[in-house]
Amino acid sequence: MTVELENAVVVVIGGGEGIGAAGAIALAAAGAWVVVADIDARAAEMTALDITQTGGQALHVACDISRAADLARLHRTTTENFGAVDLVWAHAGRAVAGRLEKVGIEEWAGLMDLNCGGVVRTFLEFGPPMIDRGHGQLVITSSSLALFPDQVPIAAPYVLTKSALVGLARSLRAYLEPTGVGVTLLCPDATHTRHATEVPLIGLDRTAFDAELDTAKLDKPEDVADALVAALRQGDFFVSLTPDVGTRMLDDVHRLTGAPRSSRALVMSGCLRVNPRHHDRVAAAMTQVVAESRKEPDNLAYAWSADLDQPGVFHLFEHWSTREGLERHAASTHGQAFLDLLKEVGPVEADLHTHEVGATQSLTLPD
């Protein structure tokens, strides 16, 4: 369900720095009245100050999500100052990584209590009034590591907690949907925050770990915040900046189960625009690539046509039995030669699209 942020009362737990702080600021910029909560009272105060100095509405509250009493006080302070809570974001948490056999049970249990128990405590405190009103939104922060845990196996204790939150968010979404209360699941990728760059290590050398961390490839907290705000407005359940996240998740399922990938046929269509003075040269190359492409075993149809009214504009229709067949075509000698020509005559405007074909049927013309 979509979320109206203008004048909404929003509580951000873990809003003192990083993604939480960026999110609090972005939500305030969208018109929300924001309560910034964090175990670090000074950090929460600074985030709230950033909001109020730019004309937004905010206050800060010290809160430890491992303590139900702190959450109750946070709830009470919010309602006394801003009114009923429309959205609560359970973002606070911590991570640990290292040699897993060196991580004691107390560390595993502590992470579970903070990262998972904190979200449950947040729901138990803020959820019932939302259910009674038939209105509200719960945002839960998990991680891309919950989706792809084998990419950083040394973070298994953290992954355990964040994987649990994916299941919790999906369960709460199904449970709360009839009540009018929504759930949003945020799964940030590696982000340039202290949470990622200064993660506590157990049994590992800090210098070696830091040497392998490429901070230039980390997402920006502001980008994650913007994605969350957009998702709330659109009513999206799942929020991720991981490139091709859906395809990667499907690949993981097929890899884990050993099931073959679907061999759906693929259609590519669209047009290319080149400088009109290169029209004849490109047309000649297209004639050659069409002839060679039709010989490929995975090709079902291949046609290029020049626009009759616009020199330099060419229309494309390709039909391939599998995506792998299209990929082999792109890597073929004639496919690469045509791509090299386009680079040579550039710039080229391409408006091309692929369409997966779930089913086909023959059509006959009426008598």
- The string of pLDDT tens digits covering residues 30-53 is 999 999 999 999 999 999 999 999
CA distance 274 to 190: 39
Query: Rounded to an integer, what is the distance from CA 296 to the centroid of its chain?
Result: 37
Paired strand residues for 304:
316
Closest CA to 235 of 297, 184, 166, 283: 184
CA distance 281 to 177: 59
- Is 269:286 a contact under the CB 8 Å cutoff? no
Q: Enter the tokens of residue 147.
A: 């989706």
Average pLDDT over residues 134-155: 94
Residue 359: what pLDDT?
66
What phi and psi values does residue 282 have, to the nearest 5 degrees?
Answer: -70, -40
Average pLDDT over residues 63-80: 98
Residue 1's pLDDT band (cuts 50, 70, 90): confident
Residue 255's pLDDT band (cuts 50, 70, 90): confident
pLDDT reading at 228 higher than 80: yes
pLDDT reading at 116 higher than 70: yes
Summary mean pLDDT of the chain:
92
Residue 307: what pLDDT?
92
Which CATH number does the domain 265-357 belong to among 3.90.1150.10, 2.60.40.10, 3.90.1170.10, 3.30.70.100? 3.30.70.100
pLDDT reading at 136 higher than 90: yes
Which CATH number does the domain 9-256 belong to among 3.40.50.620, 3.40.640.10, 3.40.50.720, 3.10.20.30? 3.40.50.720
Distances from the Cα of 88 to the Cαs of 189, 234, 292, 355, in angstroms?
A: 21, 17, 59, 39
Domain ranges, ordered by start, for the chain: 9-256, 265-357
pLDDT reading at 361 higher than 80: no
CA distance 13 to 160: 21
CA distance 168 to 120: 9
More confident residue, 255 or 312: 312
Residue 357: what pLDDT?
78
Residue 194: what pLDDT?
76
Question: Omega into 347 within 30° of 0, i.e. cis?
Answer: yes
What's the whole-model pTM score? 0.73
Residue 263: what pLDDT?
60
Q: How crowded is residue 334: how many other Cβ atoms within 10 Å of its Cβ?
A: 17
Residue 23: what pLDDT?
98
Q: What percent of the chain has pLDDT over 90?
A: 73
CA distance 189 to 41: 26
Q: Enter the tokens of residue 238.
A: 């799942």
Distances from the Cα of 270 to the Cαs of 280, 283, 346, in angstroms?
A: 19, 16, 18
Average pLDDT over residues 348-361: 82
The total number of residues shown for the chain amounts to: 367
Report the SS3 class of residue 166. helix
- Is 270:353 a contact under the CB 8 Å cutoff? yes
pLDDT reading at 27 higher than 90: yes
